[in-house]
């Protein structure tokens, strides 16, 4: 769907509902959904500056979350952060939020292909940060980016295991000091993971078991 030129009617409210965030400054909301092709053709401010800011906010928020949740070295945290902020991860998050349909753009639909979903996601992060601060940005990222990545590890393990057996992975999770510990078992192997929540612990365990299976095949 290509929104009307004036972004009128209930489009702004629908966009906010998809984001799970209500803007105080509606101009920021409109700007973050304005593609460069549309802004340049109509002399309006587009979302590239917001994208620049959103990238920095995203890097900080993810770095902070990893620092607080993982007792590990810099190298591993850096690799994990790369997965969270990759174009593929941001594209999945944008798809999960179903936000591309609100984009204001000029030209055909190929205009909003490629990097557009990930760029839009970063622009939204920047806009929410300006409008509501870091806590609002963190809440948005937790709702879409983190869940997208967390579900991916468990889904990847599920797919790997089900290609080889009908029995799904078995997760055992319990409270431990400063969070939760999880053990996942599949295909005669097991791995442990830890996290601040049960979901984080399960995802960490799934990631470790996937690494174990990968090491066996290399």
Q: Which residues are catalytic?
A: 55, 122
Whole-number Å distance between alpha carbons of 124 and 120: 6
Task: Report the Cα 64 to chain-centroid distance in Å.
Answer: 15
Question: What kind and span of H or E run contains 183?
Answer: strand 179-186
The residues that bridge with 180 in the sheet, in sequence order, are 175, 195
Shortest CA distance to 141 belongs to which of 61, 83, 66, 63? 61
Residue owning tokens 């929540």: 197
Measured distance between the N- and C-terminal CA atoms of the chain, rounded to whole angstroms: 45
Helices (H), the chain: 11-19, 26-32, 36-42, 48-69, 74-85, 87-97, 116-132, 134-141, 147-162, 198-217
């Amino acid at each position: 769907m290509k929104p009307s030129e004036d972004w009128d009617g209930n489009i702004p409210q629908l966009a906010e509902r998809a984001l799970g965030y209500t803007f105080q400054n509606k101009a920021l909301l409109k700007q973050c959904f304005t593609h460069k092709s549309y802004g340049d053709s109509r002399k309006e401010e587009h979302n590239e500056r917001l994208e620049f800011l959103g990238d920095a906010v995203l890097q900080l928020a993810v770095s902070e979350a990893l620092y607080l949740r993982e007792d590990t070295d810099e190298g591993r945290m850096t690799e994990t952060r790369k997965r969270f902020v990759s174009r593929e991860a941001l594209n999945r998050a944008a798809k999960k939020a179903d936000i591309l349909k609100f984009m204001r753009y000029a030209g055909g639909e190929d205009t909003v292909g490629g990097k557009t979903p990930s760029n839009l996601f970063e622009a939204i992060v920047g806009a929410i940060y300006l409008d509501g601060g870091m806590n609002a940005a963190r809440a948005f990222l937790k709702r879409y980016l983190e869940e997208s990545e967390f579900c991916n590890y468990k889904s990847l393990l599920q797919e790997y295991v089900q290609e080889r057996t009908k029995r799904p992975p078995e997760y055992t999770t319990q409270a431990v000091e400063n969070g939760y510990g999880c053990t996942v078992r599949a295909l005669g192997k097991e791995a442990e993971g830890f996290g601040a929540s049960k979901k984080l612990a399960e995802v960490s365990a799934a990631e470790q078991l996937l690494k174990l299976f990968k090491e066996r095949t290399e």
